[in-house]
Structure 1
Amino acid sequence: MPGAEPPLSPTAEDEPLSTDPANRPSHLTDRIRTELVRRGPCKVPPGFVFSRNESDGRSCHHQYFRKILVSGEKMARSWLIYSVKNNSLFCFCCKLFSKRNINLTSAGMANWKHASDYLTSHENSPEHLNCIKAWKEQSVRLKSGETIDKLEMALLEAERVRWRAVLTRLTAIVQSLALRNLALRGHTETLFTPSNGNFLKEVELMARFDPIMKDHLNRVERGTANQNSYLGHHVQNELIDLLSSKIISSIVDDIKQAKFFSVILDCTPDISHTEKLLVVIRVVSLMEKPHIREHFMGFLEAEESTGQHLESMILTRLEELGIPFEDCRGHSYDNGANMKGKNKGVQARLLEKNPRALFVPCGAHTLNLVVCDAAKGSVDAISYFGVLQKLYTLFSASTQRGPY
């Protein structure tokens, strides 16, 4: 039955429903073609930065996705899609319906020097016009439900809605566990076993009260869901990555809205004794009412501890996030020679690129107190704020403290 097949993951690189057209095979089944028509072409975000060719340094431009009519009016090329994997352009409708083997349907068009002329010639070709007609007709029929295989399409639509509901619940479970900082997996990945981890236990609990999840687990136990149960560790990791990307995107929007920001850095070894550089961006958020926010942007693996390498890591990370370093107005870290060194330290290198980004020493490192414990014969370094915290804890626990 066509409706019994689960949907394919749009984020996996080897799947035909990938959002990147370079991952799709040249020959598509009717089912996959129908689903791609339903989803439509994936648009390029307005602020997206295209990669440059190593040979001539040229790159794709946002202007290619619009054409200028004789009247001077600009019209969007809805059929044109971009592949991040191949750094090339594809024709959405020709890749679905055309039998010709051209650049816009096979490897993608990446000749940026003659891109405008090539796109103009292609969109006026009879083959392209026929493919656009086929695309629009099938899109209209899908929306109105007037396709030839109407019954099969109804079954497929019902199955698509069911899988979307299942994934919504699995995503909610991952969010709930992540908010409480709980591990997802246990010793096994088998349902209804004692040591299968928090994720599967939450799934089992939800199935007791939710009919959709109960039906899904029944299918898994009967074997009708096969390996596409979406309960394995690969899907869990994929959901975590997708949620992380969405959160990072929201944080970047907040930073860009605030425009000016400061960077706080620190290095620490992890359990595998690998040095990790922690990156925090501090802004005055304007989303609701102005208030200071510090956004954790992740850990970077520091292969070297030199000022040049750390500076390169920071600038590369900001470039990946699309945050211009020219808007940085401060950077803060410890007093190590590789960090605050006035000649080759990180602060000197960053100030050279942006004189307005002032260096501020980290207070937790500059105000260190050395406390000698004569009984233990050891020396403990306790930060200034740590001492204040201990004093606060001492006096707040006293029964004789005042009303203030």
Structure 2
Amino acid sequence: MDKFLIKRPRSEESSNCPKAPPSSGSSEKNTDVNFNSNDIISDPGLQKSIEDFDIGIRDQVRREYLTRGPCQPTGHSFPQKEHGKQRRSFQDAWFKQYPWLEYSVTKNSAYCFWCYLFTPSRGNQIREDAFTKKGFNNWKKSLEKFVKHVGAVNSVHNDARVQFQSFQNQRQSVSHQLATYSQEMDVEYHTRLTAVLDVTHFLLKQGLPFHGHDESLSSLNKGNFLELLEWYSLRNDKVFKVVNQNAPANNQMTSPKIQKKLANACETEITCAIVDDIGDKYFSLMIDEARDVSVKEQMGVVLRYVSKNGYVIERFLAMVHVPDTSAISLKNAIDCLFAKHGLSLSRLRG
């Protein structure tokens, strides 16, 4: 459910009580089903009542207000108000004493954050409008009124407090646990992927075969890929916790199909590096044909060019299957290969 939280713009973070957007001038209740962040106003004196929001988005509205917290403009120059012969004002210290208390800069009044979010819904309990809609500003009797507002254990305010705490603890809900678990799975997957790629890089660099004759669990030699991965995991605790028997049965990334995909991904990266190194320089082409074990014709392609440092370099580009070794077949294969990698025949010399 964290996906519904909308962060406050940076310009609003500097003040707990940003200015309200211009009023639309309509006195009708807004019951739009779609959530609009512009309806979320930090100043309690300008807020829409929770009942004015469509019931389908009220929890979303509460989450947004919960993210922002009560409007407590600490350090604000609170204006004084005459009470008989005395002049009194709101005090900063009250915020620490009453965490539910919030203050409206525009109306110079105090409100209850908990009671605003969670209206009473049981029996004959009636919400106190002085701390939810009208605002309280009789600073002479403020402390007395604050205590009276909190009331007994079963008061309207304490009922709202219980609902507030329950709603606040929804981060421990099933959906949050699933989200957290998903994040852990992402970290484990990244570690596992990095490990198998390291093994793939090593085998490709050394020109070693991946598969073994017997890759079953009871085999004494499962092949280079599986044996090297196991050797790697025994020397790295983080890798050991996420591979082989400690990996999910459907995400071990050790099957022959996955090994081939990893090798193909490395091949693509290497080929791109070779083509980028050639750039717009001239190069020559060397090809040779050979048959594989299935008696299919193959054409090996090697590029020869001068590097940026002035060295003559030969790079194997690809092995291409051709129907036969006639000139037209080889020409068509070369054209397709050049088009695939963005190489220009106009740069070919020899």
Give the alignment's TM-score, normalised by structure 2: 0.47
Q: Which has the larger radius of gyration?
A: 2
Q: Which has the higher strand share?
A: 1
TM-score normalised by L of structure 1: 0.41
